[in-house]
Amino acid sequence: MNAALNHQVRLAARPQGLPKPTDWEHTSEPVGEPGEGEILVKTLYLSLDPAMRGWMNDQRSYVPPVGIGEVMRAGGVGEVIASRHPGFAEGDHVNGILNAQEYAVVAGDGATKVDPSLAPLPVYLDALGITGMTAYFGLLDVGQAKEGDTVVVSGAAGAVGNVTGQIARIKGCRVIGIAGGEEKCRWLTEDLGFDAAIDYKGGDVGAGLREHAPKGVNVFFDNVGGEILDEVLARLAPKARVVICGAISQYNTETGFRGPQNYMMLLVVRARMEGFVVFDYRDRYAEAAGEIAGWLQSGELQAREDVVEGGIEVFPETLLKLFNGENTGKLVLKVADG
């Protein structure tokens, strides 16, 4: 018997625009018991991702929408506190879909063991987790980035964006990040080794691209959509690849999603625009994680997590940091001490 309570954050209503406090419900229930093949995990850190906003809409997507009244879907890392799966023991640390709650009962087959002695736990939600996998496969497999390519990344100071740009640099590409604000841009160029950064809040993105990518853009890794996508489409090089990873500028729109007006540039320069979902690369995560771990160890790649304290209660307000430009690096919510 476990008398502890499991505090949870559930979706109460489908948001219009930015999620409001009333779109959420805070509940608690007794901590569950793992069934055969399952493990009980104490949530330590949750990953906060722009994609979550899409999961809150009732629309066709690559995963079903979160239902009204359901615990909000979220990836996380935690500690196994009870196991009925032969692959896990109490005290193990795991990465999986734990959802916005303090304790999760999950299928052992859906969890992955992680080693906190090799990297701090939040890194397993960042460069060594879905964030890193997204950057790696989106850039190298979908985008086919090659040495010498000019790669532009939007949302470049965000979680996926900064890792994408760093991988592009490591692979010998010329890397230009687009981000909001001088401080983020400075971080990209001074700390992370981007060749250039364009501050979309402070300047003209088109002019920045003309200056920094005079021969055009070979790979555009887009996390943002909207006007920035149109600006880059107008500057594509022949046979360019536009990788559609996200469209954070449009997720909270209340006036209708903006499509890329300049999409006919795909014809002009014989380019392609392609979407992907990282889960399709599940069988190759180990390959990517191995390479990324090497770069982290050598210092070639820096992981930066923006860890917010406050426990599960502050999940709703923390999520908003993704959409108001406050966040740099990977946004992580600390739910409990390990």
The span from the CA of 99 to the CA of 291, in Å, is 28
Contact pick of 203, 272, 294, 310 for a copy of itself (by CB under 8 A): 272
At 296, list the tokens.
Answer: 């982290």
The span from the CA of 271 to the CA of 265, in Å, is 8
Which phi-psi region, left, alpha or beta, contains residue 234 (left: φ > 0; alpha: ψ -120 to 50)?
alpha
In this chain, which stretch among 124-132, 152-160, 266-274, 285-293 interacts with a copy of itself, using CB under 8 A? 266-274
DSSP code for 101 = B
Instruction: Give residues with Cβ within 8 angstroms of 80, minimum separation 6.
Output: 39, 40, 41, 88, 89, 90, 91, 92, 93, 94
Total site size for a copy of itself, rule CB under 8 A? 34
Site for a copy of itself contains 275 (CB under 8 A): yes
Contact pick of 76, 96, 158, 225 for a copy of itself (by CB under 8 A): 225
Site for a copy of itself contains 261 (CB under 8 A): yes
Binding to a copy of itself in span 30-69, by CB under 8 A? 60-62
In this chain, which stretch among 156-164, 187-195, 202-210, 241-249 interacts with a copy of itself, using CB under 8 A? 241-249
Contact pick of 197, 271, 301, 322 for a copy of itself (by CB under 8 A): 271
* Least distance (Å) between residue 246 CB and a copy of itself: 8
Site for a copy of itself contains 215 (CB under 8 A): no
How distant is the alpha carbon of residue 134 from its chain centre? 7
Q: What is the DSSP string of 126-159?
A: TTTSHHHHHHHHIIIIIS---TT-EEEEESTTBH
Cβ atoms 307, 122 nearer than 8 A: yes
Burial class (CB in 10 A: 0-12, 13-18, 19+), 263: middle
Minimum CB distance to a copy of itself smaller for 125 or for 273: 273
Residues present in the chain in total: 338
* Least distance (Å) between residue 16 CB and a copy of itself: 18
Minimum CB distance to a copy of itself smaller for 269 or for 314: 269
Contact pick of 33, 204, 274, 317 for a copy of itself (by CB under 8 A): 274
Contact pick of 13, 70, 263, 311 for a copy of itself (by CB under 8 A): 263
Contact pick of 26, 262, 314, 325 for a copy of itself (by CB under 8 A): 262
The span from the CA of 244 to the CA of 225, in Å, is 8
* Least distance (Å) between residue 226 CB and a copy of itself: 10
Nearest to 142 by CA among 167, 172, 178: 167
Contact pick of 258, 300, 311, 320 for a copy of itself (by CB under 8 A): 258
* Site of tokens 């070639």: 300
* Least distance (Å) between residue 204 CB and a copy of itself: 18
* Least distance (Å) between residue 262 CB and a copy of itself: 7
Minimum CB distance to a copy of itself smaller for 266 or for 293: 266
E strands along 93-216, which residues? 93-97, 103-107, 112-114, 150-154, 174-179, 196-199
**What angle separates helix 285-298 from helix 130-137, to the nearest 10 degrees?**
100
* Least distance (Å) between residue 259 CB and a copy of itself: 3
Helix, strand, or coil (residue 290): helix
Helix, strand, or coil (residue 333): strand
Binding to a copy of itself in span 277-296, by CB under 8 A? 277, 280
* Least distance (Å) between residue 247 CB and a copy of itself: 6
User: In the complex, which residues of this chain contact a copy of itself (CB under 8 A)?
Assistant: 60-62, 225, 230, 234, 244-247, 250, 256-277, 280
